[in-house]
Structure 1
Amino acid sequence: MDMKFTEPVFIYDDQEIQYKFNDTHPFNQDRLIMTVDLLRKSGALPDKAVLTSRSATDAELLRVHSATYIEAVKALSVPAPEERWVREAARFGLDTDDTPYFPGMHDITAKVVGGSILAVDLVMTGQAPHALHLGGGLHHALQSKGAGFCVYNDASAAIAYAKEKYGAKVLYIDTDVHHGDGVQWSFYADPQVGTLSIHETGKYLFPGTGAVNERGEGDAFGTSVNIPVEPYTEDDSWLECFSEVLTELIARFQPDVIISQHGCDAHAFDPLAHVHCSMRVYKAMPELIHRLAHQWCEGRWVALGGGGYDIWRVVPRAWSLLWLVMSEQAIMSQLEAEPQLRLPQAWLDAWQGKSPVPLVETWLDPVEAWAPIPRRQVITEKNRQTKELAMMYLK
């Protein structure tokens, strides 16, 4: 591919909508459709910015997954898998309520991985300054095991590809409310990859990892950084921890490229976690990453999707804000002048009838109407202590 884009690229493929376990599963790709619709109705996603994905090759998957695992995924992807593979599904983590095997699983997930690798190619070759792939961010999959709604780990595959093809030093930033465990363990002993994950403490939440003392091993000690925040953490505390640690880490690590994962399940409305952030975080956080990418990496920034289970009130706004920041849309300056700027009426009209809850009608949340968290000061102090511990051994 030798196209040149002067603007950021939005990678989107209808096949990724089929990444779906079953009709009652919380991982619901309608959120992608709603996000794209919101951006289009906002006039912020021209057709020329959108590229379709490609499929990852087996060789690209093998950088981060075992051959036996890929074989199992393929075997469990057919409409009626052989009995021996059904018996083996548990061994590969593909028989749980969280991550059950489904028809077409291999082809669909290989497309997700390919989209994230395409994003790396676009950015590392200078064909595009930034690239966003919201279908990606499946950060829990391990070398030989599916987990946490994730079959193949596209984030790990994209990092491994950036390292191997471009010799890049990669900083991975994970803002999902669940710890980015699959990516951390893939590169735990690799000094060329830094990982920063800010998430709700694993004391109470899947996957139970991401303690502040998980710092990498061998030559990579100090390159794995975790900020496990307390339940009911709010915007100010979350942003303080994230901003201070990331700003210091990137200055020391000095990566060639940032690959960030943007699960938006730290929002107060998310049903699967207990962090209490508002949409303000999902504006300020990409603004910081964008600025740091230009400061340290000549602008090279690949962003991926991730978790987010309030698909009506949270995900479309949060992911749209990420693109609005990345592509420097005029809406952002409007939002600075008018914090209660409304969403496009056409989008509200299109989705309110389908939503089981009243949609939020503004880009940012009316947090002044939210009930205050009673333990705010205690939570803030505990997070500050965690932040200081996280910064002790940065490399």
Structure 2
Amino acid sequence: MAKHSGNVEMNDAVFVYSEDQLGYKFSDSHPFNQKRLVLTVDLLKEMNALSDDRIIPVRTATDEELLLAHDERYINIVKKAGLGEVTPEVGENYGIGTEDTPMFDHMHEAAARLVGGTLTAVDEVMQGRALHALNLGGGLHHGFRGKASGFCIYNDSTVAIKYMQQKYGARVLYMDTDAHHGDGVQWSFYDDPSVCTVSIHETGRYLFPGTGSITERGSDKGYGTSFNLPIDAFTEDDSFLETYRTAFREIASFFKPDVILTQNGADAHYLDPLTHLYGTMDIYREIPKVAHEIAHEFCGGKWIAVGGGGYDIWRVVPRAWSLLWMEMSGQPLPFGKLPQSWLDRWQPDSPVPLIPTWEDPQDLYKPIPRKPEIEEKNQQMLEKALYMIRNA
């Protein structure tokens, strides 16, 4: 579990979590529901896969740290909004008070804690106390410099990358497998050659935020360090994973990062209510496995992971994120039945029948008649992306 490096005891992986991360809450009916953190932590503990000595408490990001990625005026508006001092008309100019990102009490403090969790994970890895660190409360990849977007008030990954650049002089590879394009992070580093952003996502033809074309490749000195892999709606596991595995390895080999930061949205699953992809739990076994291998192969194991989207909080997110932690911490991935105690505890609260196994049911969805066409389109897109990588 732990290794010694000089006089420093190093963990293979640490889990950054505090219950105060649950304060990031828009409303009881909002699709972004942090109860998924409670469900995941409880499932891991029932599996004896997460011990208290692996949990690192969250800290709150300072204003100075938030200023690495956000305007001072915007931060002040968020603070005032959390105190009820901003009108809806003013808030909308900053992306808050909208249907996606409503205002709520003490929203600045809640959002700053999610950022602080990711910075805690960064310091654990970059200061050599852990090879890998996970903050499932992070991954809010749509936030912009002066505006909230898509449930994201502050962009923890952008702050974390700027922090790694400033404090550690790191060359960062950001890999985003959320079904939605990682737009806020991409645009923050679009002209920066020391950061490589990669996003594999459902094409924006029918899905927020509508960006993430394969032609978005960076600008000025950063041209050739932004990569987008937009896959077709209804894409299934095999096509998703071929795109992900092939591109991730090629890009890591090309970019040669000092550290990898992965965003692990769990919304590419068939059951997710906000997207149109046809993934199963099989992709959530493979996504972290590939990241784990590439981190060890290209940057000495330095791997920081955050959460992200995932809106079926009962049947999908706890299983997917548990598999991420178990891979990250070097534990055998489970098969078969989930702990009965966990199922019994949470089924009364769940509005849908829980899936009782780590695997999805064989008849999760009916066969897709357009499968060959979808796979061919994704393959053509991947070949274009590989050509761009090899000629960057």
TM-score, shorter chain, exceeding 0.5: yes
2:341 to 317, 342, 346: 346
Out of 131, 134, 147, which is 2:133 matched to?
131
Q: What CA distance in whole angstroms lies between the structure 2 residues aligned with 1:91 and 1:356?
A: 36
Residue 290 of structure 1, aligned match among 289, 292, 296: 292
SS at match of 1:171: strand
CA distance in 1, matches of 2:261, 2:214: 21
How far off is 1:327 after superposition? 0.5
Which of 308, 311, 318 is equivalent to 2:310?
A: 308
Q: CA deviation at 1:370?
A: 3.4
One of 142, 155, 158 as aligned partner of 1:156: 158
Instruction: Work out which of the residue numbers 35, 43, 53 in structure 2 matches 1:38.
Output: 43
* 2:36 counterpart letter in structure 1: R
Structure 2 counterpart of 1:390, one-letter code: A
**Aligned counterpart for 1:377 among listed residues 364, 372, 388:** 372
The question of whether the paired residues in 2 share the 8 Å contact of 1:278 and 1:367 is answered with: no
Identity within the alignment, %: 52
Superposed CA offset, 1:192-237 (max 9, x none): 0001100000011000000000000112111100011000000000
**Change over 3 Å in CA distance of 1:390–1:116 after alignment to 2:** same
Matches for 1:187-198 after TM superposition, within 5 Å: 187-198=189-200
Match of 2:91 in 1: 89
Contact 1:138 1:154 in 2 (8 A): yes
- One-letter code of the match for 2:205? K
Equivalent residue pairs, number: 384
CA contact (8 A) 1:271 1:309 kept: yes
- How far apart in 2 are the matches of 1:200 and 1:6? 35
CA deviations on 1:81-121 (whole Å, 9 max, x unpaired) are: 155xx431011010210011111100111111011011111
Letter in 1 for 2:51: P
Matched with 1:274 is 276
- Maintained 8 Å contact 2:77/2:86: no
What does residue 3 of structure 2 align with? Answer: none
Letter in 1 for 2:162: A
Q: How does 1:41-52 map to 2 (within 5 A)?
A: 41-52=46-57
- From the superposition, tell whether residues 213 and 108 of structure 1 become closer, same or farther in structure 2 (CA, over 3 Å): same
Q: In structure 2, what is the Cα distance between the partners aligned to 1:91 and 1:4? A: 48
Matches of 1:356 and 1:116, distance apart in 2: 31
1:284 and 1:278 map into 2 onto residues whose CA distance is: 11
User: Is the alpha carbon distance of 1:284 and 1:174 closer, same or farther for their aligned partners in structure 2, counting shifts above 3 Å?
Assistant: same
The 1-side partners of 2:369 and 2:330 are apart by 37
State the distance in 2 between where 1:282 and 1:3 align: 32
- 1:73-112 alignment runs, 5 A limit: 73-78=78-83, 80-83=84-87, 86-112=88-114
- 2:355 alignment counterpart: 360
Over aligned residue pairs, what C-alpha RMSD do you find? 1.2
- Cα gap change, 1:369 to 1:138, in 2 (>3 Å): closer
Aligned equivalents of 1:114, 1:4: Cα separation in 2: 23
The whole-number CA distance in structure 2 between the counterparts of 1:342 and 1:5 is 33
* Distance of 2:72 and 2:384 partners within structure 1: 38
TM-score (norm 1): 0.95
Write the deviation string for residues 369-389 of structure 1: whole angstroms up to 9, x where unpaired. 531111110000000111112
Report the alpha carbon displacement of residue 265 of structure 1 after superposing the two structures with TM: 0.3
1:7 touches 1:49 (CA, 8 Å); kept in 2? Answer: no
Q: Which residue of 1 aligns with 2:18?
A: 13
**Cα shift readout 1:30-89 (whole Å, capped 9, x = no counterpart):** 1110000000000000000001111111111111101111111111111x3155xx4310
Counterpart of 2:199 in 1: which secondary structure?
strand
Q: Indicate the residue corresponding to 2:58 in structure 1.
A: 53
Displacement of 1:3 in angstroms is 7.3
User: Following superposition, which runs of at least 4 residues in structure 1 exceed 3 angstroms of deviation?
Assistant: 2-5, 367-370
Query: Are the aligned partners of 1:123 and 1:302 in contact in 2 as well (CA < 8 Å)?
Result: yes
CA distance in 1, matches of 2:280, 2:86: 47
Q: Which runs of 5+ in 1 are unaligned?
A: none
Say if 1:263 and 1:369 are closer, same or farther in 2 by CA, change over 3 A: closer
- C-alpha distance in 2, partners of 1:372/1:306? 28
Q: Secondary structure at the match of 1:391?
A: helix
Q: Please give the secondary structure, in 1, of the residue aligned with 2:308.
A: coil
> TM-score, structure 2 length as denominator?
0.96
> Contact between 1:278 and 1:365, CA under 8 Å: does it hold in 2?
yes
- Residue number in structure 1 paired with 2:387: 392
Structure 2 letter corresponding to 1:26: P
